[in-house]
Amino acid sequence: MPFPLTLDPDFRKEIVRSWLDDVDDRIEMNQLKDAEYSWQTANKIYLSLPFGSGDMDLESQIIAARVKIDKRHQATNENNL
């Protein structure tokens, strides 16, 4: 069983940033399933932040990562037609 994350919002935000970096790496390696998993993990941790500790820049990065994944999925699906 993994250790639970500390409740410190700043620490959790750093973990989210690490997962978003992993999303970029996975997309670059064309590992879309793994990129999706990393994005889901980052999003889940971000959404678990305590009330009032959100970060608009980080939220924008999460949305941008989602768009990257979706665009890559679309490009991959178009190439398979």
pLDDT in tens, 33-79: 999 999 999 999 999 999 999 999 999 999 999 999 999 988 776 55
pLDDT of 2 reads 57
Tokens in use for 72? Answer: 């890559």
Rounded to two decimals, the pTM is: 0.85
pLDDT of 38 reads 97
Give me the mean pLDDT over the 24-36 stretch.
Answer: 96
> Pick from 49, 71, 46, 66: which is nearest to 58 by CA?
46
More confident residue, 71 or 7: 71
Q: Which residue has the tokens 């959100």?
A: 54
More confident residue, 20 or 3: 20
